[in-house]
Amino acid sequence: MQRIRLIRDVDTCYSCREQFPRDELVLDHVIPVALDLTRALDERNLAPACLACHRAKTDSEQVLARRGGKVAVARPERVASVEREPSARVYGVRLAPGAGNHLAGGILVRAATPLPPT
C-alpha cells in the first residue's frame, strides 16, 4: 500500500537517477535501518530504488547488520577467477555480475567497481 502511495506510476530511482515503472521499483530506507532503527517507520526515510540498486545497497548493509550485533546472511557465490597482481600482495577476484560484498578467507572483500571482462 505504501508503494502505491509513495511511488509514482513511473518514478526515479534515488540512487542511479534512472526512471522505471512502479513495478520495477521498491521502497528503500535511504538511511539503513541497521544504522538508525528509529528511521525504520519514517516515511521521509523511504525512497524509490530500482531492483539492481536495492540489491547492491542491501548487500552492502549486511556489513552494517553484523556490526550492529545482528546475524548477517551470507550468500555463497562462485569465484570465476583469481589473479595475482604483479607488484603487490593483492589479488583481484572476479565474481558474477551484480556481486557485492564477500567474505574470502575471513576477509571482507567489497567490489567497488566491476572488473572489466577478460
* Among 12-20, 28-36, 75-83, 91-99, the segment contacting Zn ion (CB under 5 A): 12-20
Q: What percent helix, strand, coil does the chain show, rounded to 5?
A: 25, 25, 45
CB of 92 to Zn ion, least distance (A): 26
Sequential DSSP letters for 57-107: HHHHHHHHHHHTTPPPPP------EEEE-TTSS-EEEE--TT--EEEETTE
Site for Zn ion in 52-111 (CB under 5 A): 53
CA angle 24, 28, 33 (to 5 degrees): 155
Binding string, 21-50, against Zn ion, x = CB under 5 A?
-----------------------------x
* Among 9-17, 26-34, 92-100, 109-117, the segment contacting Zn ion (CB under 5 A): 9-17
Helix (H) / strand (E) containing 6: helix 2-6
Among 7, 13, 26, 99, binds Zn ion (CB under 5 A): 13
Q: Which residues bind Zn ion (CB under 5 A)?
A: 13, 15-16, 50, 53
